[in-house]
Structure 1
Protein backbone atom coordinates (compact mmCIF):
# COMPACT_ATOMS: atom_id res chain seq x y z
CA UNK A 1 0.00 0.00 0.00
CA UNK A 2 1.16 3.60 -0.52
CA UNK A 3 3.09 5.30 2.25
CA UNK A 4 0.67 7.39 4.37
CA UNK A 5 2.86 10.47 4.01
CA UNK A 6 2.71 10.16 0.22
CA UNK A 7 -1.02 9.61 -0.12
CA UNK A 8 -1.61 13.03 -1.68
CA UNK A 9 1.28 12.88 -4.16
CA UNK A 10 0.29 13.18 -7.81
CA UNK A 11 1.75 11.07 -10.58
CA UNK A 12 4.59 12.42 -12.74
CA UNK A 13 3.36 13.68 -16.14
CA UNK A 14 2.38 11.25 -18.91
CA UNK A 15 2.79 8.01 -16.95
CA UNK A 16 -0.89 7.09 -17.26
CA UNK A 17 -0.70 7.65 -21.01
CA UNK A 18 2.40 5.44 -21.25
CA UNK A 19 0.67 2.68 -19.30
CA UNK A 20 -2.46 2.95 -21.43
CA UNK A 21 -0.35 2.58 -24.57
CA UNK A 22 0.78 -0.84 -23.34
CA UNK A 23 -2.75 -2.25 -23.30
CA UNK A 24 -4.21 -0.88 -26.51
CA UNK A 25 -4.30 -4.36 -28.10
CA UNK A 26 -6.52 -5.72 -25.32
CA UNK A 27 -4.09 -8.50 -24.29
CA UNK A 28 -2.59 -9.01 -20.82
CA UNK A 29 0.59 -6.98 -20.26
CA UNK A 30 2.99 -6.68 -17.34
CA UNK A 31 4.58 -3.42 -16.17
CA UNK A 32 7.44 -3.52 -13.67
CA UNK A 33 8.33 -0.66 -11.35
CA UNK A 34 11.72 -1.02 -9.66
CA UNK A 35 13.58 1.17 -7.21
CA UNK A 36 15.41 1.18 -3.89
CA UNK A 37 13.64 0.99 -0.53
CA UNK A 38 11.80 4.23 0.20
CA UNK A 39 11.82 5.49 -3.38
CA UNK A 40 8.01 5.63 -3.52
CA UNK A 41 7.57 2.81 -6.04
CA UNK A 42 4.67 1.27 -4.10
CA UNK A 43 2.87 4.59 -4.03
CA UNK A 44 3.50 5.18 -7.72
CA UNK A 45 2.19 1.70 -8.60
CA UNK A 46 -0.97 2.16 -6.53
CA UNK A 47 -1.67 5.64 -7.91
CA UNK A 48 -1.13 4.43 -11.46
CA UNK A 49 -3.47 1.49 -10.94
CA UNK A 50 -6.07 3.79 -9.38
CA UNK A 51 -5.87 6.07 -12.43
CA UNK A 52 -6.51 3.10 -14.73
CA UNK A 53 -9.38 1.73 -12.66
CA UNK A 54 -10.51 -1.80 -13.47
CA UNK A 55 -7.91 -2.06 -16.23
CA UNK A 56 -4.98 -2.52 -13.82
CA UNK A 57 -4.03 -4.28 -10.60
CA UNK A 58 -0.87 -4.22 -8.47
CA UNK A 59 0.93 -7.45 -7.57
CA UNK A 60 4.00 -6.50 -5.48
CA UNK A 61 7.23 -8.50 -5.35
CA UNK A 62 7.09 -8.18 -1.54
CA UNK A 63 4.60 -11.04 -1.39
CA UNK A 64 7.60 -13.32 -1.90
CA UNK A 65 9.44 -12.40 1.30
CA UNK A 66 10.59 -15.60 2.98
CA UNK A 67 8.76 -16.21 6.25
CA UNK A 68 10.43 -14.90 9.40
CA UNK A 69 10.82 -18.45 10.71
CA UNK A 70 12.67 -19.47 7.56
CA UNK A 71 14.87 -16.37 7.65
CA UNK A 72 15.82 -17.24 11.22
CA UNK A 73 16.64 -20.82 10.21
CA UNK A 74 18.85 -19.54 7.39
CA UNK A 75 20.53 -16.93 9.59
CA UNK A 76 19.28 -14.07 7.42
CA UNK A 77 16.73 -12.40 9.71
CA UNK A 78 18.98 -9.39 10.27
CA UNK A 79 19.20 -8.88 6.48
CA UNK A 80 15.48 -9.11 5.69
CA UNK A 81 14.95 -7.31 2.39
CA UNK A 82 18.24 -8.44 0.80
CA UNK A 83 18.06 -10.34 -2.52
CA UNK A 84 18.50 -13.75 -0.87
CA UNK A 85 15.61 -13.20 1.55
CA UNK A 86 12.97 -13.57 -1.16
CA UNK A 87 11.62 -16.53 -3.11
CA UNK A 88 12.79 -15.23 -6.50
CA UNK A 89 11.88 -18.46 -8.28
CA UNK A 90 8.34 -18.30 -6.93
CA UNK A 91 8.03 -14.69 -8.07
CA UNK A 92 9.29 -15.63 -11.54
CA UNK A 93 6.75 -18.46 -11.73
CA UNK A 94 3.90 -16.12 -10.80
CA UNK A 95 4.91 -13.57 -13.46
CA UNK A 96 4.97 -16.32 -16.08
CA UNK A 97 1.55 -17.51 -14.98
CA UNK A 98 0.18 -13.98 -15.14
CA UNK A 99 1.49 -13.59 -18.70
CA UNK A 100 0.15 -16.94 -19.85
CA UNK A 101 -3.10 -17.06 -17.88
CA UNK A 102 -6.03 -18.75 -19.61
CA UNK A 103 -8.77 -16.25 -20.59
CA UNK A 104 -11.08 -17.73 -17.95
CA UNK A 105 -8.50 -18.19 -15.16
CA UNK A 106 -8.36 -16.13 -12.00
CA UNK A 107 -4.88 -15.93 -10.47
CA UNK A 108 -4.30 -15.43 -6.75
CA UNK A 109 -1.06 -13.78 -5.59
CA UNK A 110 0.53 -13.32 -2.15
CA UNK A 111 0.84 -9.98 -0.39
CA UNK A 112 3.21 -8.77 2.33
CA UNK A 113 1.54 -7.37 5.46
CA UNK A 114 3.77 -4.94 7.36
CA UNK A 115 1.67 -5.09 10.51
CA UNK A 116 2.74 -8.73 11.00
CA UNK A 117 5.91 -8.60 8.86
CA UNK A 118 4.80 -11.69 6.92
CA UNK A 119 3.44 -12.56 3.48
CA UNK A 120 0.02 -14.19 3.18
CA UNK A 121 -0.78 -16.40 0.20
CA UNK A 122 -3.87 -15.82 -1.91
CA UNK A 123 -4.28 -12.20 -0.82
CA UNK A 124 -4.53 -10.54 -4.24
CA UNK A 125 -7.12 -11.61 -6.81
CA UNK A 126 -6.16 -11.01 -10.44
CA UNK A 127 -9.22 -11.50 -12.68
CA UNK A 128 -8.56 -12.85 -16.17
CA UNK A 129 -10.02 -9.74 -17.82
CA UNK A 130 -7.57 -7.27 -16.24
CA UNK A 131 -5.23 -6.21 -19.08
CA UNK A 132 -2.41 -4.64 -17.02
CA UNK A 133 -0.61 -6.15 -14.05
CA UNK A 134 1.75 -3.72 -12.32
CA UNK A 135 4.42 -5.34 -10.18
CA UNK A 136 6.72 -3.22 -8.06
CA UNK A 137 9.79 -4.34 -6.16
CA UNK A 138 13.44 -3.88 -5.42
CA UNK A 139 15.16 -6.44 -7.60
CA UNK A 140 13.30 -6.48 -10.92
CA UNK A 141 16.35 -5.21 -12.83
CA UNK A 142 19.08 -7.37 -11.31
CA UNK A 143 21.00 -9.59 -13.72
CA UNK A 144 22.48 -11.90 -11.06
CA UNK A 145 21.04 -15.30 -10.14
CA UNK A 146 18.32 -16.02 -9.22
CA UNK A 147 16.92 -12.66 -10.38
CA UNK A 148 18.51 -12.65 -13.84
CA UNK A 149 15.94 -12.60 -16.64
CA UNK A 150 13.00 -11.44 -14.51
CA UNK A 151 13.08 -8.06 -16.27
CA UNK A 152 12.41 -9.86 -19.57
CA UNK A 153 9.03 -11.03 -18.27
CA UNK A 154 7.78 -7.42 -18.28
CA UNK A 155 6.65 -5.49 -21.34
CA UNK A 156 8.36 -2.49 -19.74
CA UNK A 157 10.23 -1.98 -16.49
CA UNK A 158 10.58 1.51 -14.98
CA UNK A 159 12.98 2.71 -12.29
CA UNK A 160 11.95 5.24 -9.64
CA UNK A 161 14.74 7.61 -8.57
CA UNK A 162 14.46 10.00 -5.65
CA UNK A 163 16.75 12.17 -3.53
CA UNK A 164 18.70 9.91 -1.16
CA UNK A 165 18.09 12.05 1.91
CA UNK A 166 14.37 12.13 1.27
CA UNK A 167 14.33 8.40 0.69
CA UNK A 168 16.26 7.73 3.92
CA UNK A 169 13.87 9.93 5.90
CA UNK A 170 10.90 7.97 4.57
CA UNK A 171 12.54 4.69 5.58
CA UNK A 172 13.34 5.81 9.11
CA UNK A 173 9.77 7.08 9.58
CA UNK A 174 8.39 3.82 8.19
CA UNK A 175 10.40 1.69 10.63
CA UNK A 176 9.34 3.90 13.55
CA UNK A 177 5.71 3.62 12.47
CA UNK A 178 5.97 -0.17 12.66
CA UNK A 179 7.49 -0.29 16.11
CA UNK A 180 11.22 0.46 16.03
CA UNK A 181 12.81 3.18 18.12
CA UNK A 182 14.50 6.11 16.37
CA UNK A 183 17.92 4.59 17.05
CA UNK A 184 16.90 1.11 15.90
CA UNK A 185 15.26 2.52 12.77
CA UNK A 186 18.36 4.48 11.78
CA UNK A 187 20.58 1.46 12.44
CA UNK A 188 18.39 -0.77 10.24
CA UNK A 189 18.48 1.78 7.42
CA UNK A 190 22.28 2.11 7.67
CA UNK A 191 23.08 -1.59 7.84
CA UNK A 192 20.28 -3.24 5.84
CA UNK A 193 18.32 -0.85 3.63
CA UNK A 194 21.24 1.22 2.33
CA UNK A 195 23.42 -1.68 1.11
CA UNK A 196 20.36 -2.98 -0.76
CA UNK A 197 19.70 0.50 -2.18
CA UNK A 198 23.25 0.75 -3.55
CA UNK A 199 22.91 -2.64 -5.24
CA UNK A 200 19.57 -1.72 -6.78
CA UNK A 201 20.84 1.65 -8.04
CA UNK A 202 23.71 -0.09 -9.84
CA UNK A 203 21.17 -1.58 -12.26
CA UNK A 204 19.05 1.50 -12.90
CA UNK A 205 20.32 1.86 -16.48
CA UNK A 206 18.69 -1.48 -17.32
CA UNK A 207 15.28 0.19 -16.98
CA UNK A 208 13.17 1.16 -19.98
CA UNK A 209 12.31 4.46 -18.28
CA UNK A 210 13.83 6.32 -15.32
CA UNK A 211 11.33 8.37 -13.33
CA UNK A 212 12.81 11.16 -11.23
CA UNK A 213 10.20 11.68 -8.55
CA UNK A 214 10.10 13.62 -5.31
CA UNK A 215 7.31 15.22 -3.34
Structure 2
Protein backbone atom coordinates (compact mmCIF):
# COMPACT_ATOMS: atom_id res chain seq x y z
CA UNK A 1 0.00 0.00 0.00
CA UNK A 2 2.92 2.35 0.64
CA UNK A 3 3.74 2.45 -3.10
CA UNK A 4 0.17 3.03 -4.25
CA UNK A 5 -0.73 6.54 -5.33
CA UNK A 6 -4.27 7.81 -4.78
CA UNK A 7 -6.54 8.56 -7.69
CA UNK A 8 -6.65 12.36 -8.01
CA UNK A 9 -9.87 13.87 -9.30
CA UNK A 10 -11.69 17.19 -9.42
CA UNK A 11 -14.74 18.00 -7.33
CA UNK A 12 -17.33 16.91 -9.93
CA UNK A 13 -20.34 15.80 -7.92
CA UNK A 14 -21.81 13.53 -10.63
CA UNK A 15 -18.58 11.52 -10.84
CA UNK A 16 -18.40 11.20 -7.06
CA UNK A 17 -22.05 10.14 -6.80
CA UNK A 18 -21.54 7.46 -9.45
CA UNK A 19 -18.46 6.13 -7.70
CA UNK A 20 -20.33 5.97 -4.39
CA UNK A 21 -23.26 4.29 -6.12
CA UNK A 22 -20.92 1.63 -7.52
CA UNK A 23 -19.77 0.83 -3.98
CA UNK A 24 -23.38 0.41 -2.86
CA UNK A 25 -24.10 -1.91 -5.80
CA UNK A 26 -21.59 -4.57 -4.80
CA UNK A 27 -24.21 -6.63 -2.99
CA UNK A 28 -23.00 -6.48 0.60
CA UNK A 29 -22.80 -3.39 2.76
CA UNK A 30 -20.08 -0.92 1.82
CA UNK A 31 -18.60 1.80 4.03
CA UNK A 32 -17.17 4.91 2.40
CA UNK A 33 -14.94 7.23 4.40
CA UNK A 34 -14.45 10.93 3.63
CA UNK A 35 -11.56 12.72 5.30
CA UNK A 36 -9.54 15.90 5.08
CA UNK A 37 -8.59 18.85 7.31
CA UNK A 38 -11.10 20.98 9.22
CA UNK A 39 -13.18 23.14 6.90
CA UNK A 40 -12.45 21.10 3.77
CA UNK A 41 -16.12 20.29 3.13
CA UNK A 42 -16.36 16.70 4.39
CA UNK A 43 -19.82 17.07 5.90
CA UNK A 44 -21.13 18.98 2.89
CA UNK A 45 -19.95 16.32 0.43
CA UNK A 46 -21.28 13.49 2.60
CA UNK A 47 -24.68 15.18 2.83
CA UNK A 48 -24.79 15.75 -0.95
CA UNK A 49 -23.97 12.09 -1.58
CA UNK A 50 -26.68 10.91 0.82
CA UNK A 51 -29.23 13.22 -0.80
CA UNK A 52 -28.29 12.03 -4.29
CA UNK A 53 -28.27 8.33 -3.42
CA UNK A 54 -31.39 8.43 -1.28
CA UNK A 55 -30.79 5.37 0.88
CA UNK A 56 -27.27 5.82 2.27
CA UNK A 57 -26.66 6.43 5.99
CA UNK A 58 -24.35 9.18 7.24
CA UNK A 59 -22.36 8.43 10.41
CA UNK A 60 -19.98 11.31 11.27
CA UNK A 61 -16.87 10.66 13.35
CA UNK A 62 -17.71 13.89 15.22
CA UNK A 63 -20.36 11.99 17.16
CA UNK A 64 -17.46 10.54 19.13
CA UNK A 65 -16.25 13.87 20.52
CA UNK A 66 -15.72 13.56 24.26
CA UNK A 67 -18.20 15.58 26.31
CA UNK A 68 -17.13 19.08 27.35
CA UNK A 69 -17.10 18.04 31.01
CA UNK A 70 -14.71 15.19 30.26
CA UNK A 71 -12.47 17.42 28.14
CA UNK A 72 -12.20 19.84 31.06
CA UNK A 73 -11.51 17.01 33.50
CA UNK A 74 -8.66 15.81 31.28
CA UNK A 75 -7.38 19.35 30.76
CA UNK A 76 -7.65 19.16 26.97
CA UNK A 77 -10.66 21.36 26.29
CA UNK A 78 -8.42 23.89 24.49
CA UNK A 79 -7.43 21.14 22.06
CA UNK A 80 -10.97 20.11 21.11
CA UNK A 81 -10.87 18.42 17.71
CA UNK A 82 -7.40 16.88 18.21
CA UNK A 83 -7.16 13.05 18.04
CA UNK A 84 -7.06 12.62 21.83
CA UNK A 85 -10.36 14.49 22.25
CA UNK A 86 -12.37 11.70 20.61
CA UNK A 87 -13.56 8.31 21.84
CA UNK A 88 -11.50 6.67 19.11
CA UNK A 89 -11.94 3.14 20.44
CA UNK A 90 -15.69 3.66 20.53
CA UNK A 91 -15.65 4.85 16.92
CA UNK A 92 -13.66 1.81 15.86
CA UNK A 93 -16.09 -0.47 17.71
CA UNK A 94 -19.07 1.13 15.95
CA UNK A 95 -17.42 0.64 12.55
CA UNK A 96 -16.94 -3.05 13.38
CA UNK A 97 -20.67 -3.31 14.12
CA UNK A 98 -21.57 -1.48 10.93
CA UNK A 99 -19.24 -3.70 8.93
CA UNK A 100 -20.76 -6.87 10.41
CA UNK A 101 -24.33 -5.75 9.60
CA UNK A 102 -25.80 -8.48 11.81
CA UNK A 103 -27.97 -6.35 14.11
CA UNK A 104 -31.47 -5.18 13.13
CA UNK A 105 -30.36 -1.58 13.64
CA UNK A 106 -27.18 0.09 14.87
CA UNK A 107 -27.54 3.48 16.54
CA UNK A 108 -24.73 6.00 16.10
CA UNK A 109 -24.16 9.28 17.95
CA UNK A 110 -24.21 12.71 16.35
CA UNK A 111 -22.43 15.94 17.29
CA UNK A 112 -24.57 19.03 17.84
CA UNK A 113 -22.58 22.17 17.10
CA UNK A 114 -25.23 24.34 18.71
CA UNK A 115 -24.66 22.47 21.98
CA UNK A 116 -20.97 21.59 21.41
CA UNK A 117 -21.85 18.11 22.69
CA UNK A 118 -22.31 14.60 21.24
CA UNK A 119 -25.79 13.05 21.41
CA UNK A 120 -25.97 9.27 21.80
CA UNK A 121 -28.29 7.06 19.77
CA UNK A 122 -29.26 9.80 17.30
CA UNK A 123 -28.59 8.08 13.95
CA UNK A 124 -30.27 4.76 13.11
CA UNK A 125 -28.57 2.50 10.57
CA UNK A 126 -30.92 -0.39 9.66
CA UNK A 127 -29.40 -3.72 8.66
CA UNK A 128 -30.58 -3.33 5.07
CA UNK A 129 -28.59 -0.14 4.47
CA UNK A 130 -26.23 -0.88 1.58
CA UNK A 131 -23.95 2.16 1.88
CA UNK A 132 -22.75 3.85 5.05
CA UNK A 133 -20.82 7.09 4.66
CA UNK A 134 -18.59 8.14 7.55
CA UNK A 135 -16.65 11.39 7.56
CA UNK A 136 -14.03 12.77 9.90
CA UNK A 137 -10.53 14.10 10.33
CA UNK A 138 -8.54 11.06 11.34
CA UNK A 139 -9.64 8.14 9.17
CA UNK A 140 -6.11 7.70 7.80
CA UNK A 141 -4.07 8.41 10.92
CA UNK A 142 -1.31 5.90 11.73
CA UNK A 143 -1.68 5.97 15.51
CA UNK A 144 -3.54 3.33 17.56
CA UNK A 145 -6.51 2.78 17.27
CA UNK A 146 -7.03 5.05 14.24
CA UNK A 147 -4.72 2.84 12.21
CA UNK A 148 -7.32 0.04 12.29
CA UNK A 149 -10.02 2.16 10.66
CA UNK A 150 -8.53 1.98 7.17
CA UNK A 151 -9.22 -1.75 6.97
CA UNK A 152 -12.85 -1.31 8.05
CA UNK A 153 -13.69 0.96 5.12
CA UNK A 154 -14.07 0.05 1.46
CA UNK A 155 -12.70 3.36 0.24
CA UNK A 156 -11.46 6.60 1.77
CA UNK A 157 -11.67 9.90 -0.10
CA UNK A 158 -9.53 12.86 0.95
CA UNK A 159 -10.72 16.41 0.21
CA UNK A 160 -7.85 18.76 -0.64
CA UNK A 161 -9.24 22.30 -0.55
CA UNK A 162 -7.26 25.51 -1.03
CA UNK A 163 -6.02 26.52 2.44
CA UNK A 164 -7.10 30.15 2.18
CA UNK A 165 -10.67 29.12 1.34
CA UNK A 166 -10.71 26.45 4.02
CA UNK A 167 -9.45 28.78 6.76
CA UNK A 168 -11.98 31.44 5.79
CA UNK A 169 -14.75 28.85 6.07
CA UNK A 170 -13.51 27.77 9.49
CA UNK A 171 -13.44 31.29 10.86
CA UNK A 172 -16.97 31.95 9.60
CA UNK A 173 -18.18 28.67 11.12
CA UNK A 174 -16.82 29.59 14.55
CA UNK A 175 -18.41 33.03 14.32
CA UNK A 176 -21.72 31.45 13.34
CA UNK A 177 -21.64 29.31 16.48
CA UNK A 178 -20.88 32.12 18.91
CA UNK A 179 -17.24 33.24 18.85
CA UNK A 180 -16.32 36.80 17.94
CA UNK A 181 -13.95 37.25 14.99
CA UNK A 182 -10.78 37.64 17.05
CA UNK A 183 -11.55 34.53 19.09
CA UNK A 184 -12.49 32.58 15.96
CA UNK A 185 -9.27 33.50 14.17
CA UNK A 186 -7.20 32.63 17.25
CA UNK A 187 -8.90 29.24 17.61
CA UNK A 188 -8.29 28.41 13.96
CA UNK A 189 -4.63 29.41 14.13
CA UNK A 190 -3.83 27.77 17.46
CA UNK A 191 -5.99 24.65 17.27
CA UNK A 192 -7.65 23.84 13.93
CA UNK A 193 -4.53 24.46 11.85
CA UNK A 194 -2.42 22.38 14.20
CA UNK A 195 -4.82 19.51 13.51
CA UNK A 196 -4.87 20.32 9.79
CA UNK A 197 -1.09 19.91 9.51
CA UNK A 198 -1.34 16.44 11.06
CA UNK A 199 -4.18 15.43 8.74
CA UNK A 200 -2.36 16.70 5.64
CA UNK A 201 0.33 14.08 6.27
CA UNK A 202 -2.26 11.33 5.65
CA UNK A 203 -3.33 12.59 2.19
CA UNK A 204 -1.42 10.05 0.11
CA UNK A 205 -2.95 7.09 1.98
CA UNK A 206 -6.39 7.82 0.50
CA UNK A 207 -7.93 5.91 -2.39
CA UNK A 208 -9.20 9.12 -4.00
CA UNK A 209 -8.01 12.70 -3.55
CA UNK A 210 -10.61 15.29 -4.46
CA UNK A 211 -8.83 18.49 -5.45
CA UNK A 212 -11.02 21.54 -4.96
CA UNK A 213 -9.53 24.92 -5.83
Give the equivalent residue in structure 2 for 1:112.
111
Q: Does 1:185 align with 2:184?
A: yes
Q: How does 1:163-178 map to 2 (within 5 A)?
A: 163-178=162-177
Give the equivalent residue in structure 2 for 1:59.
59
TM-score of the superposition, structure 1-length normalised?
Answer: 0.92
Q: Does 1:208 align with 2:207?
A: yes
Contact 2:92 2:145 in 1 (8 A): no
Residue 149 of structure 1: SS of its match in structure 2?
helix
Question: CA offsets per residue over residues 24-60 of structure 1, 9 Å max, x none?
Answer: 2321110000010000010000001110002x11100
TM-score of the superposition, structure 2-length normalised?
Answer: 0.93
Give the equivalent residue in structure 1 for 2:121.
122
**Using the alignment, how far apart are the partners of 1:134 and 1:205 within structure 2?**
20
Q: Which runs of 5+ in 2 are unaligned?
A: 1-10
Contact 1:31 1:133 in 2 (8 A): yes
Residue 25 of structure 1: SS of its match in structure 2?
coil
Give the equivalent residue in structure 2 for 1:77.
77
The alignment of Structure 1 onto Structure 2 pairs a total of residues equal to 203
**Using the alignment, how far apart are the partners of 2:14 and 2:200 within structure 1?**
23
Q: Using the TM superposition, give the Cα deviation of residue 175 of structure 1 relative to its aligned residue in structure 2, in angstroms.
A: 0.3
Q: Does 1:94 align with 2:79?
A: no
**Using the alignment, how far apart are the partners of 2:185 and 2:30 within structure 1?**
38
Contact 1:12 1:213 in 2 (8 A): no
Question: CA offsets per residue over residues 103-131 of structure 1, 9 Å max, x none?
Answer: x6111000000000000000001111110
Q: Using the TM superposition, give the Cα deviation of residue 213 of structure 1 relative to its aligned residue in structure 2, in angstroms.
A: 2.2
Q: Does 1:131 align with 2:130?
A: yes
- CA RMSD of superposed structures (Å): 1.1
